[in-house]
Amino acid sequence: MVMPPALLTIRSISKRFGDRTVLEGINLDVRQGETVTIIGASGSGKTTLLRCINWLERPDHGDVRIANEIIGRTLDGRAASEGELARQRRHFGFVFQRFNLFPHLTALENVALGPRRVLGVSRAVAEARAIKELARVRLEEHLHKRPSQLSGGQQQRVAIARALAMDPSIILFDEPTSALDPELVQEVLDAMRGLAAEGMTMVVVTHEMRFARGVADRVVFMADGSIVEEGPPGIIFENPQDPRLQRFLRHLEPAST
């Protein structure tokens, strides 16, 4: 089988906070339409890796390459200006653990803000787009509610719609269900499953092993700032090699598999 070329290429990313090394020589490729989940104990560097991909966190070394561009650098190799970096960030949608919706705006305005102010389309076009994306995550009934009037699961779906409205090539999810009450987890996972089925490329940091097992094309296990094992979920979960992965899965067993 011929593999399509990678859409996202991460090469030897390293990141330190003070004298603590959080990421060490990370390499990862993500292909168009793929869903990759990143699992690992807390403190293993998963979230930092995700934040380094769209440069919310600036990596100390290494390259993030998408669609022939290197994030943080112009085509002729200079350091990207603020505006150029902002444009490059639009390759990625980002869904935060704590939603980070704009509390002063309605669901509709939250989603329309990017198209309106960043892409510069008219208000009517921005709102039409927002309505479409909110319908896609089944929130068409809640367009005019503020985040504080929505449940956690609904808020996270608004956040997904906000990311979708910018036409990203890849959506990055940072533990999207970790801040949710258990009964609200499913609606968010369903929305994500729907996106995966539509062929959206996604990188998902998650503790939801059922999602990792059932939806991911590939599972990446991180420990101590490195990727120690990766592969299809069947192999990662049924036949783990690295002792740290074996221990990690054993500890999870009773709770979430």
Q: Which is nearer to another protein, 155 or 240 (CB)?
A: 155
Rounded to whole angstroms, the Cα distance separating 214 from 207 reads 13
Q: What residues between 125 and 164 interact with another protein by CB under 8 A?
A: 146-148, 159, 162-163
Query: Of 26-34, 95-103, 202-210, 230-238, which part binds another protein (CB under 8 A)?
Result: 95-103
> Residue 203 in contact with residue 172, Cβ under 8 Å?
yes
* Smallest distance, another protein to C-beta of residue 173, A: 12
* Smallest distance, another protein to C-beta of residue 92, A: 7
Measured at the CA of 200, the angle between CA 1 and CA 5, to 5 degrees, comes to 35
* Smallest distance, another protein to C-beta of residue 204, A: 15
Residues near 238 by beta carbon (within 8 Å), at least 6 away in sequence: none
> According to CB under 8 A, which one of 126, 166, 170, 191 is a site residue for another protein?
166
Q: Which is nearer to another protein, 42 or 149 (CB)?
A: 149
Query: How many helices and strands (H and E) does the chain possess?
Result: 9, 10
Residue 141's identity, in one-letter code, is: E
Q: Tokens in use for 41?
A: 């104990």
- Is 82 an interacting residue with respect to another protein (CB under 8 A)? yes
- Is 54 an interacting residue with respect to another protein (CB under 8 A)? yes
* Smallest distance, another protein to C-beta of residue 236, A: 28
* Smallest distance, another protein to C-beta of residue 144, A: 14
The conformational region for residue 231 under phi > 0 = left, psi -120 to 50 = alpha, else beta, is left
> Residue 232 in contact with residue 217, Cβ under 8 Å?
yes
Q: What residues between 97 and 126 interact with another protein by CB under 8 A?
A: 98, 100-104, 113-114, 117-118
> According to CB under 8 A, which one of 96, 211, 221, 248 is a site residue for another protein?
96
With CB under 8 A as the rule, give the number of residues binding another protein. 29
Residue 16's identity, in one-letter code, is: R
Q: Tokens in use for 57?
A: 């966190």
Rounded to whole angstroms, the Cα distance separating 172 from 94 reads 5
Q: Which is nearer to another protein, 125 or 252 (CB)?
A: 125
Query: Of 39-47, 90-98, 207-215, 226-234, which part binds another protein (CB under 8 A)?
Result: 90-98
Angle between helices 123-136 and 152-164 (to 10 degrees): 130
* Smallest distance, another protein to C-beta of residue 252, A: 27
Residues near 9 by beta carbon (within 8 Å), at least 6 away in sequence: 28, 29, 63, 64, 65, 66
- Is 87 an interacting residue with respect to another protein (CB under 8 A)? yes
* Smallest distance, another protein to C-beta of residue 146, A: 6
Residue 69's identity, in one-letter code, is: E
Contact residues toward another protein (CB under 8 A) are 54, 56, 82-83, 86-87, 89-90, 92-94, 96, 98, 100-104, 113-114, 117-118, 146-148, 159, 162-163, 166
